[in-house]
Structure 1
Amino acid sequence: MHKNTFLAAIASLGLLSGCISLGSEPPEQLLTLTPSATIPAGAAAEGEVSAALAIQVPNVTQRLNVTRVPVTTSDSSLAYLEGAFWVEKPAQLFRNVLAETIRAKGNRLVVSAGELEYVARTQLTGQLVDMGYDATTGSVVVRFDAVLRADDGTIRTRRFEESIPGVLPEAVAVGAALNEASNTVADEVAEWVG
């Protein structure tokens, strides 16, 4: 009796396997951001950690807290671009581009991961307000509200924005345009931070 029950249970699992999906097909490719300004291999920097610049992962709203590319379809509606998936969340990718760009273009010690970033007295943070595709204009937009807290306690803020028009609503085209726009914003932030 127990043997028949066991065989019946295995047979029913076999039938169910055609009905159950344990995950969707993986995307053909993943999008990422690549800094256009990089430091060469072997380059070094040193200084007091208290004088370093820490670059925090920017805050985002829920629409950017996913690995999809948001598409603005009207003033009050949103979709996600078909077939466009980030390799990790956009805020982390953007922070990596910011950190590498500031390291490459600036004259300061930059820390952006681990415990050292919390010791640094100068902090760059902010909100990644937009990093997506606007279907109403056919453009990509990267908008970053930066907050720089200096080592003397003063706080400066500034909005950085780059828009690239004429982009087709396809994953590869949008990904390339977002990479370009992110690097433009990172260049401007690097200049502002010094």
Structure 2
Amino acid sequence: MTRRLRMPLLLALGAVSLSACVSFGAKPPPFLLTLDADAAPAAGAARTAADAATLTILIPTAPQKLRTVRIPVQQGAGSVAYVKDAQWVEAPSRLFQRLLSETVSARTSRVVLDEGQYLTAPGEQLAGQLMEFGVDEQTNEAVVVYQAMLVSTAGKSVTQRRFEAREALGGKVEAKAAGAALTRAANKVATDVAGWLGS
């Protein structure tokens, strides 16, 4: 009788101790970060362009350290950490592409298309690589580096230009401070890109 009772009891205790060790996913951060454009096209404004006059802004490629929703901190020549409790709502390359599209639309007269609209009106393409989008621990700055590549209609010519912006965090490397500084730096880069593309 004692043996019959002992077996279910041991199984129950084992299940309880196992449930205490198993975690079903990481603890979510207290908030999520996003990028807000300083400039946006006016609501209700209509623009018309011939196929060749459109501009499609592609999602930039990114190195492995940026293929995450976390904010990297460059600690030295070969060491990368991530800001505690800092997480974007989606990958930074997608957020930057959207901010860039908003800024170029607001600051130029171009008809800006997304990747999904490209086949409907092929024109110029703005591709590139988001090389840096994080924090430099040594200088305590947010750093955004974008290598832009403008491909003309039908791919007849390619022009490259590198853009970089740095913004001081103004204190400890924390989630909100890092997110705000990266937003400022990203807007600076987007404004410079819009100026390069012209009207």
Question: What TM-score do the two structures reach when normalised by structure 2?
Answer: 0.87
Offset, 1:88: 0.5
State yes or no: 1:175 paired with 2:190.
no
1:57-97 deviation digits (Å, cap 9, x = unpaired): 00100000111100011111111111111110110000000
Instruction: Look up the match of 2:70.
Output: 68
Distance in 2, matches of 1:43 and 1:90, equals 28
Instruction: Look up the match of 1:185.
Output: 189
Distance in 1, matches of 2:55 and 2:114, equals 8
**Contiguous gaps of at least 5 residues in structure 1:** none
Distance in 1, matches of 2:40 and 2:103, equals 6
8 A Cα contact 1:111 1:117, kept in partner: no
Matched to 1:18, the amino acid is A
Structure (1 or 2) with the larger CA radius of gyration: 2
8 A Cα contact 2:169 2:181, kept in partner: no
Offset, 1:113: 3.5
Instruction: Look up the match of 2:168.
Output: 165
Count of aligned positions: 190
Question: What TM-score do the two structures reach when normalised by structure 1?
Answer: 0.89
Offset, 1:112: 1.1
> Over aligned residues, Cα RMSD in angstroms?
2.2
Instruction: Look up the match of 1:85.
Output: 87
8 A Cα contact 1:69 1:84, kept in partner: yes
Which structure: greater helix fraction?
2
Identity rate, percent: 39
SS at match of 1:27: coil
Instruction: Look up the match of 1:37.
Output: 39
Moved more, 147-156 or 80-89: 147-156
